[in-house]
Amino acid sequence: MATAVISTIVVFTAIGLAIVNSPGWPAVREAFLNGEVFRASFPDIARAFKLNVKIFLVAEAVILVFALGVAMLRSLPGPVFFPIRAIAIIYTDVFRGLPTILVITMLALGVPALQLTGVPVSAVFWATVGLILVYSAYVAEVYRAGIESVHPSQEAAARSLGLSRWQTLRYVIVPQAVRRVIPPLLNDFIGLQKDTALVAFAGPVEVLRQAGIDEAANFNFTPYVCTAVLFLALTIPMTRATDWLIERDRRKRAASGVG
Amino acid sequence: MTAAINIEGVHKSFGKVMVLKGVDVEVPESNAVCLIGASGSGKSTLLRCVNLLEPVDSGRILVHGDDITSYDVDANRVRRRIGIVFQAFNLFPHMNVLENVTLGPRKALKTPKRDAQDRATELLTRFGLADKRHEYPDRLSGGQQQRVAIVRALAMEPDIMLFDEVTSALDPELVGEVLGVIRDLAQTGMTMLIATHEMGFAREIADHVCFLDQGRILEQGPPERIFTAPEEPRTQEFLRRIIEAGRM
């Protein structure tokens, strides 16, 4: 423990000194860590950040349900369900294969341009749909891994009671699968939190775009640092919570002797 | 009179391995038929075929005269009439005992929750498990888990029960309580097809014993004859090894 403390202090002091003594440090400090600009831009940026949080919360709720549906459809066995499985596979392949930013810009700029009546024209709406489509493809795969990790004997037991395939998935397989995949799910949601910044490329004034506006107004990059602080304030607690859950799960399995 | 189960010329392969090579078994109403034989002789596969957990390749299985292996049969309906208990219990780990037992009646039979719970509690009480109804499976001993698994199957009120080496995964001192439950069921006249390594039990409980060897019924008959005067050399060999292992 003591060794760890000492070596940590030594390493970080060395890195700190190297940065502070670099020739460009005064200029960088002025451009990125200007306290005055930080204070001035913080209220704007925090306000814009609320949009990111909103997008994240809505997207997360939809993804949790939608991705589970996709994973369940993909897990239906037998030749009868092949077309359904095929659609689910194509969906996950396409949206995991496309850059998120591409999906967001195409949807947010393209769909409103169609000028269809009754279809929302809000860029925020379509950018959120883009995030949902991309992240659901990943989350569906996480769910599917969980579903496949449930031993086939559980399915045999459920089917032997006369439950249908769907009932077996619904009451026996999925509840066990979801418990097992909570840590990797949270991991994906940490990624989603950050990627709400990509909505900026479709136009809405969310936090990254607001920081750009403030940067241009002050000729100073400190607003970006301000944004980074806000993101970390949100993602780090979630990251720690995820690690804690993984560790707890590992201990529980070790204690009960099942894998 | 029509038998409860008629297995006629059943073949079953997994890939290139033929596990069942034309098996015929008849289980009359209210009889207990025991399947004995070495591991890998096809006992479990045969039971899984009767429960339609595995489709047969050829041959047919009749339950009370109805061909359940015909292509247009509703497998879910068939399974509701036939209970099966597995070697590894296969309880649902995320549900407590009561939920395990009531899942089938509630979802497959659409029994109202209260009725299903009352009926489950009645059965659990009968098998000495009433005080465990709110426990989760991982808090129960192997013997208790297997008794819950039996109750779970019985809650569907099946006409026929299949037992797939239900004591093989148990510690020796827990075997008795599970066999006791099956013995009780035999006395109530339940029709049963039992795959087992417990020869003493088979001898005591069975109306008829079938010796499976490499996917075929090599010899069958009343337990007294199979266990005291087996005719086939392979049956004699099998029983000699069991006796040497102290299992009879």
Chain segment B176-192, per-residue pLDDT in tens: 999 999 999 999 999 99
* pLDDT above 60: residue A62: yes
Give me the residue from A153, A162, A171 closest to B86, CB to CB: A153
- Establish, for the pair of chains A and B, how many residue pairs have beta carbons separated by less than 8 Å: 62
Give the closest-approach CA distance of A169 to chain B in angstroms. Answer: 12
To which H or E segment does residue B106 belong?
helix B97-108
Of B88, B94, B104, nearest to A179 by CB-CB distance is: B94
Q: Which residue on chain B is closest to A171 by alpha carbon?
A: B103
**Cα distance between residue A80 and residue B232, in whole Å:** 46
Strands B208-213 and B32-36: parallel
Dihedral of alpha carbons B189, B193, B198, B203, sign: positive
Closest to A183 measured CA to CA, from A259, A247, A245, A251: A245
Q: Which of A159, A167, A171 sits opposite B53 (nearest CB)?
A: A159
Is A258's pLDDT higher than 50?
A: no
Mutation for B interface: A80, A151, A160, A179, most B CBs within 10 A: A160
- Residue in chain A closest to B106 (alpha carbons) equals A163
pLDDT at A259: 38
Helix (H) or strand (E) holding B209: strand B208-213
Q: Find chain B residues with C-beta within 8 A of A150's C-beta.
A: none
| A156 near B CB under 8 A | yes
* Mean pLDDT to the nearest integer, B6-21: 94
What's the pLDDT tens digit per position in B74-104?
A: 999 899 999 999 999 999 999 999 999 999 9
Q: What is the pLDDT of residues A99-130, one digit of tens each?
A: 999 999 999 888 888 888 888 888 889 999 99
- Do residues A138 and A91 lie in contact, with contact meaning Cβ atoms separated by under 8 Å? no
List domains and CATH numbers for chain A. Answer: 34-256 (1.10.3720.10)
Does A178 reach chain B within 8 Å, measured CB to CB? no
Section A183-206 average pLDDT? 86
- Model pTM above 0.95: no
- The CA distance from B142 to B136, in Å, is 12
Q: Tell me: pLDDT of B52 over 90.
A: yes
The verdict on A163 touching B (C-beta cutoff 8 Å) is: yes
ipTM: 0.90
Q: How far is B3 from chain A (nearest CA, A)?
A: 22
Mutation for testing the B interface, residue in A80, A147, A161 having most B CBs under 10 Å:
A161
Contact between chains at B138 and A256 (C-beta distance less than 8 A): yes
- B177, amino acid identity: E
